[in-house]
């Protein structure tokens, strides 16, 4: 997995790319999240359009990122959830946990509502 990030209207957009399956890159996303929390940037969108698939380690990273932000007064939202990842969220009953949007623009805009 590769991870890039950018900021749009005060919202951090994290863009993981590839497969999220565990191993050495498992902590990349979480570590990056803590960097932003330390900078008091707590509105985060994870863009999943570039993620081919993820396993339970990937779901665990999303959950721990979600709870870490929530516990620090922030919020994590998802954008561009692929059909494969959505089916995993459904079978694990995690779909209602996450706010998800069809586009990054919609996800960013939702922080103003």
Partner 1 sequence: MHEPIIKGNMISIPSSLEYLTNIDDFIEGILRGFEVEESTIADIAISVSELVNNSVSHGNKSDDGKTVSVSIAKKGNDIEIKIEDQGQGFDPRAISNPLDEENLLKDTGRGIFIVNALMDKVDVQTTKDGTITTITKSIV
Which residues of the shown chain bind partner 1 in the complex (CB under 8 A)? Answer: 19, 21-24, 26, 52-57, 59-61, 63-64, 66-67, 84, 88, 91-94, 97
Query: CB 112 → partner 1: shortest distance, Å?
Result: 27
Q: How far is the CB of 31 from partner 1 (least distance, A)?
A: 15
Taking the least distance from each CB to partner 1, the nearer of 65 and 104 is 65
DSSP state for residue 95 in the 8-state scheme: G
Query: Three-state SS across 46-80?
Result: EECCCEEEECHHHHHHHHHHHHHHHHCCCEEEEEC
Nearest-approach distance from CB 12 to partner 1, in angstroms: 20
CB 56 within 8 A of CB 24: no
């Amino acid at each position: 997995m590769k991870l890039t990030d950018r900021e749009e209207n005060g919202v951090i957009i994290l863009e993981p790319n590839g497969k999220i399956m565990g191993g050495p890159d498992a902590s990349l996303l979480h570590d990056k999240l803590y960097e932003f929390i330390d900078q008091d940037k707590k509105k985060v969108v994870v863009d999943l359009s570039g993620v081919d698939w993820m396993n339970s380690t990937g779901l665990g990273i999303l959950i721990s990122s979600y709870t870490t932000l929530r516990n620090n007064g922030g919020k994590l939202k998802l954008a561009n959830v692929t059909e494969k990842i959505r089916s995993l969220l459904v079978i694990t009953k995690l779909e209602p946990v996450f706010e998800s949007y069809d586009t990054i623009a919609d996800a960013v805009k939702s922080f103003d509502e």
